[in-house]
């Protein structure tokens, strides 16, 4: 899932927790400007937003920027707690950005709520998945960095008496046996 945030009308800001002097949409804004304007401050569930990796910033019905969320920040404002996205705008060449910038708002539910969520096919390769070592943490690839080595070492320890040589000898012999039996069969 990705987060979709709709920019409101352009307005100047006198006090802003993110240090901005304006927010909202204006014509021909850059993607960086759309991201800075759209990344906060929102009255939204930080728990749900924190599970998203990408945010589409929409202005006047079109996607104006795509940002990658690294974390969230929470700010006290005169009207209560507000959430901002921390991260960066995606540059040209990123598949999620290239697929969506300039395209119509994918959250077309008729709601006036500026905060929405949607599935993006392009984000699938980038989403977190459970680390294959079984540690219970999430990984951007099959394993968290270093956990592939840890998973192999655990098997060497448990099945080969902690001897990498025994493990490698066993692999070589097993594969050689396999190819010998395949040759015999053919």
Site residues (vs Zn ion, CB under 5 A): 131, 133, 135, 144, 147
154 or 165, CB closer to Zn ion?
Answer: 154
Alpha helices in the chain (DSSP H): 31-38, 46-49, 95-100, 147-159, 164-185
Long-range contacts of 170-176 (CB under 8 A, 24+ apart): none
Q: Where are the beta strands (DSSP E) in the chain?
A: 2-6, 11-12, 22-23, 54-59, 62-77, 80-89, 115-118, 129-130, 138-139
For residue 175, CA distances in Å to 169, 170, 181 come to 10, 9, 10
Task: Give the single-character DSSP code of 91.
Answer: P
Beta bridge partners of 72: 85
Least Å distance between CB 143 and Zn ion?
6
Name which of 145 and 161 has its Cβ closer to Zn ion. 145
Residue 18 vs 139, nearer CB to Zn ion: 139
Q: What is the C-alpha separation between 120 and 134, in angstroms, rounded?
A: 27
Question: In the complex, what is the shortest distance from the CB of residue 127 to Zn ion, in angstroms, rounded to a whole number?
Answer: 16
**Closer residue to Zn ion, CB minimum distance, 96 or 133:** 133
Tokens of 88: 């960066």
Nearer to Zn ion, 125 or 145 (CB): 145
Smallest gap from residue 155 Cβ to Zn ion (A) = 14
């Amino acid at each position: 899932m990705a987060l979709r945030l709709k920019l409101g009308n352009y307005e100047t800001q006198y006090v802003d927790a993110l240090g901005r002097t304006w927010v909202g949409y204006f014509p021909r804004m850059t993607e960086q400007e759309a991201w800075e304007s759209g990344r906060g401050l929102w009255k939204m569930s930080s728990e749900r937003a924190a599970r998203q990796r990408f945010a589409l910033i929409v202005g006047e019905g079109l996607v104006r920027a795509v940002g990658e969320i690294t974390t969230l920040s929470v700010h006290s404002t005169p009207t209560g707690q507000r959430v901002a996205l921390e991260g960066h705008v995606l540059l040209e060449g990123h598949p999620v950005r290239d697929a969506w910038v300039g395209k119509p708002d994918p959250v077309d539910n008729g709601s006036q709520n500026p905060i929405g969520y949607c599935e993006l096919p392009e984000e699938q390769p980038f989403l977190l998945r459970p680390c294959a070592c079984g540690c219970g943490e999430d990984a951007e690839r099959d394993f968290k960095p270093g956990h592939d080595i840890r998973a192999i070492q655990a098997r060497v320890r448990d099945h080969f008496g902690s001897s990498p040589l025994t493990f490698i000898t066993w692999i070589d012999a097993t594969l050689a046996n396999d190819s010998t039996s395949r040759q015999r069969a053919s």
